[in-house]
A and B are shown apart, each in its own frame.
Chain A
Amino acid sequence: MLAFVARRLLATIPVLLVVAVLVFLMLRLTPGDPAAILAGDAASTEQIAAIRAGLGLDRPILVQFGIWASHLARGDLGESYFFKMQVTSLIAQRLEPTLALAALTILIAVLTAVPLGTLAAWRFGGWFDRALMGFSVLGFSVPVFVLAYLLIWLVSLKLGWLPVQGYVRISENFLLFLKHLILPAITLSVIYIALIARVTRAAVLEALGEDYIRTARAKGLPELRVLVRHALANAAVPIATVIGIGIAILIGGVVVTESVYAIPGLGRLTVDAVLARDFPTVQGVILFFSFVYVLVNLLIDLSYVFLDPRIRY
C-alpha cells in the first residue's frame, strides 16, 4: 500500500514538470519580447529592462527555465504587475469564494447525479431513463453563462427569491453567504450532473447485469439494498473517476460563473488578469489550477483502494 502511494506520488512529478515547462514555454514561444509582454502596455523602458534582468532573458533558455523553476519550487510565482503584490498571496486572498463555490457545486452534483443515474439504470429504457439522458445532452449543450442569465432572470428578477450577484464571506454571515452562493452553484452543477449521471447510469447498468445481483435478488434482499449495496458499490470506481475528470470542466465553469455572478474568486481573478495582460498572475493561476486538478485526481486514484477492496497494491 505504502509502496503504491509512493509510486503514484512519483508518477505525478513528470506530469507537473511537463505542465511547468508548457506554461514556461507559452510565454517564450510567443512572438515578441517576453519582457515587454509581461510588463504590459503601460510599462516604461526601465521597468521592461528590470524584468528582463530579473528573468535572465539574455541568457540561454535552459538557464532561464532553471531560474524560473527554482522560484516556482520555493512557491514564488512572481509579482503581479497589475495588482502590485505577490501572485501567491493574491491567489490565497481569492481562494475562499472559489473553494466554497466548487465544494457546494460538487456536493449538489454528486447528491443529485448519483441517485438519478442509479434510478435510470434500474428503470433502463423507461421514460425516466430517457428523460435523464435527454436532460444530460441538454446539460452538455447549454452554455454556463446562458444558464446563469436564465436563472438570474427567473429566480432573482421575476421571483425575487435570491440576490442577483455578489458574494458575502463565510465568516461575516453564513446565511447570506449561502444565499449568494446557491444560484451560482446550481448553475455550475448542471453540466457536472449531466456528466456524473451518465457515467453512474452506465456503471450501475453494467453491475446490474452481474451474477451476484441475480443471487442477491434470489435470496430475497430488498430491491433498495440490491441497488445500493450491490450495484452502486460496484460502480463506485468509474463514478469516482469521472468526478475527478469533471474537475477540469468545473474549473472552466468557475471562470465563467464567477464573472457572471460577480464573485471575487480565482476565476474572476483569471479574467481580470487576462484583460489587464498581467501574465505573472495568469501563469500563476494556471499553474495553481493544474496542480489542484492533478492532486485531486491523485487522491481519487488512491481512494480506489477503499472503494474497491479487490484492488490491492
Chain B
Amino acid sequence: MILRNWSVRIGGISLLILIAIAIAAPLLGTVDPTLFDAASRDLRPGETGEISTLDGETLKHTFLMGSDSFGRDVYSRVLYGARVSLLIGLCVALLALAFGIVLGLCAGYLRWLDGPLMRVMDGLMAIPSVLLAIALVALWRPSLTTVVIAIAIPEMPRVSRLVRSLVLSIREEPYVEAAVALGTPTVKIMFGHILPNTAAPLIVQGTYIVAFAILVEAILSFLGVGLPPDIPTWGNIMAEGRVQFVAYPHNVFYPGVFLAVTVLAVNILGDGLRDTLDPKMAKRV
C-alpha cells in the first residue's frame, strides 16, 4: 500500500542511494576529507593534482569536483558531508519526537498541565526557529551534540502540539474509556493505548523534521556559527567556497546540489507518506 505510492518510491529510493553513498564514502575513490596539499589549491573539477597523506606520502589524485583554497578534495568532502547531514537530520527528528511526544501526551492527557505547558510552547514558537538555533549554538559552543539539541528545541513545540491535538480526540474513543473503567494506570493508558494511535501522523511529521534539520544545519555551518570548519559538512564547504565564488563556483555548487537533492528526497518521501498514512492531513494541505 505504502510502497505503491510514487512519491514514497522516488523519495525513498533517492534517500537510500544517498545513505548508501554516505556509508560507502571511503570506497568511492575518496581520500581523507581533511587532507590538503598546498600544491593542489583551487583546482577545477576533473583536474589531476597531488595530495599528501598523514604519513608524508604524496599521492596522485584526480579532483572530480575540484579542490578548495586549502587544496582539499571537494569530492571527498561532499561525500563525507552526507554522513554529517543525514546523521544530524535523523538525530534531530528522534530527539524532537521523543520530547514532543512526552510533552504532548502530558498536555493532552493530564489536563492541569495543559495550560502552563502550552503557554510555554506558544512562547517558544514565537521565536523564529533559525534565530533560536543560531543563538543556542553560539551560547553553547558548537559541537555535534549542541547543534542537534539547538535545532531540535524549536521543533519540539510543533510535535507536542500535534500530539496534544491527537490525544484530545483519541482520549474520547470508547477503548480509552473502557481502559479507564477497568482501572488501567494512567501511564499505561498514555503510552499503551493512546501513543500507538498517533504513530502515522508522527512518522509524517518526523520526515519533515529531518528535511528541516538538514537545512538548518547547513545554514548554521554556512553562516560560520555551526560545526567547526574542519568537519566536512555541506554548509562548511560552501562557507569556505563562497569567498572565491566568482572564480571557482564549483565549491558552492556541488555541495549545494547535494544538499538540495537530499532535502527534496526527504520532502517527497514525506509527502508520499502523508498521502498514504495520514489521508486526513493530506486533505488539509
Contacts and interface: CB of A to CB of B under 8 A. Distances in A.
Interface stretch (A60-68, A142-150, A169-177): A142-150
Contacts of B138: 274, 277, 279, 282
A141 B264 contact: yes
B223 A293 contact: no
Contacts of B135: 26, 274, 282-283, 286
A275 interface: yes
Contacts of A293: 126, 128
B235 to A, nearest CB: 8
Interface string A268-288: 001100110101001101100
A248 B245 contact: no
Given A15-B122, A18-B120, A141-B211, A270 B131 contact: yes
B128 A251 contact: yes
A137 B271 contact: yes
Interface residues of B, number: 44
Interface residues of A, number: 53
A95 interface: no
B178 interface: no
B196 interface: no
Contact of B119 (A14, A37, A275, A290): A14
Nearest to A27: B139
Interface string B103-136: 0000000000000000110111011111110111
B260 A18 contact: no
Interface in A158-207: 164, 198-199, 202
Given A140-B267, A202-B284, A271-B223, A15 B123 contact: yes
A143 B259 contact: yes
Interface stretch (A74-82, A105-113, A118-126, A252-260): A252-260
A74 B267 CA distance: 44
Interface string A285-313: 11001100110000000000000000000
Chain A binding surface SS class: helix
Given A143-B218, A143-B259, A274 B225 contact: yes
Contact of B223 (A15, A19, A256, A282): A256
Contact of B128 (A16, A18, A37, A290): A290
Contacts of A103: none
Ranked 8 nearest A-B pairs via Cβ? A18-B123, A252-B130, A146-B256, A141-B264, A251-B128, A141-B263, A274-B138, A248-B128
Interface of A: 14-19, 21-23, 26-27, 30, 37, 137-138, 140-146, 149-150, 152-153, 157, 164, 198-199, 202, 248-249, 251-252, 255-256, 259-260, 270-271, 274-275, 277, 279, 282-283, 285-286, 289-290, 293-294
Interface of B: 119-120, 122-124, 126-132, 134-136, 138-140, 211, 215, 218-219, 222-225, 238, 242, 245-246, 249, 252-253, 256-257, 259-260, 263-264, 267-268, 271, 284-285
Given A18-B124, A143-B218, A255-B131, 6 more contacts: A15-B122, A23-B127, A141-B211, A143-B259, A149-B242, A285-B131
